[in-house]
Amino acid sequence: MRLPARNATELHWLSEETLIMAGHGGGPRAIRSGVLLEEAQRHLGLRPLPAPHRKVDATGRPAGMRDWPAGQSGSFSHWGDYTLCLLHRGTGLHWGVDLEEIPDAQTTQEILSIALDQNERDLLSQTRCGIGSEGLARRAVSVFSAKESFYKAAYPKVGTFFGFDALRLAASPTPTHLQFTVVRSLTTSLPAGKPVSIGCRATARAVISWCSL
């Protein structure tokens, strides 16, 4: 999986029903998201429909979930001029996708402090992981990104905010997957102790993760 050149797109199939479109270009995020969604819909053989609008609460603040076109579900993520659109043909799953830049040393330490608990930090720093500072940055941001993807996928089920501590890394990250455990019960379908597998890929400059629930 790779990110596209300027003013180009890249297509990544996760399955016959699910894909990720990556785009690189300027302009308002809403417009970039809509263009990618239409391209993704064509690849899946779906009728192009308008990009979903984020729901808002009574105060007008984003409520963390979107109204997707009928028969479709997915997720968006942005980093700089890059945009990701994950689109799934069907509505049986909730999805989350996330794109994060490989951080510098200072940001890595902030991620380790804010998004990971001591058990997770110990797991990433184990000698058997065989990682230096660059490897640690990639693994730390992979965990951070995976938790962001989980939040996006879980929010429609949970319906309220929850923090990074709701999910705990259960095994050392691999180049393609991260294994987590739900720490506390979030809803009946996400009870404490439930295992969660989240897909991930690293590029030269960023990490991409995705989750379905």
Evaluate if residue 199 carries a pLDDT over 80.
yes
The answer to whether the CB of 156 falls within 8 A of the CB of 65 is: yes
Q: What value does the mean pLDDT take over residues 32-38?
A: 91
The answer to whether the CB of 140 falls within 8 A of the CB of 147 is: no
Q: What value does the mean pLDDT take over residues 5-29?
A: 93
**pLDDT of the residue at 52:** 62
What would the pLDDT profile of 81-124 be if each residue is shown by its tens digit? Answer: 999 999 999 999 999 999 999 999 999 999 999 999 999 999 99
Q: Using only C-alpha atoms, what is the Rg of the chain?
A: 17
Domain with CATH 3.90.470.20 in the chain: 98-212
Nearest to 124 by CA among 166, 168, 172, 165: 172
Q: Which residues are annotated as a binding site for CoA?
A: 77-78, 98, 148, 152
**pLDDT of the residue at 48:** 84
Q: Which residues are annotated as a binding site for Mg(2+)?
A: 98, 100
* HEC letters along 63-97: EEEECCCCCEEEEEEEECCEEEEEEEECCCCCEEE
What CA–CA distance (Å, rounded) separates 73 from 89? Answer: 7
CATH architecture, range 98-212: Alpha-Beta Complex (3.90)
pTM: 0.90
Q: Which residues are annotated as a binding site?
A: 77-78, 98, 100, 148, 152
**pLDDT of the residue at 164:** 97
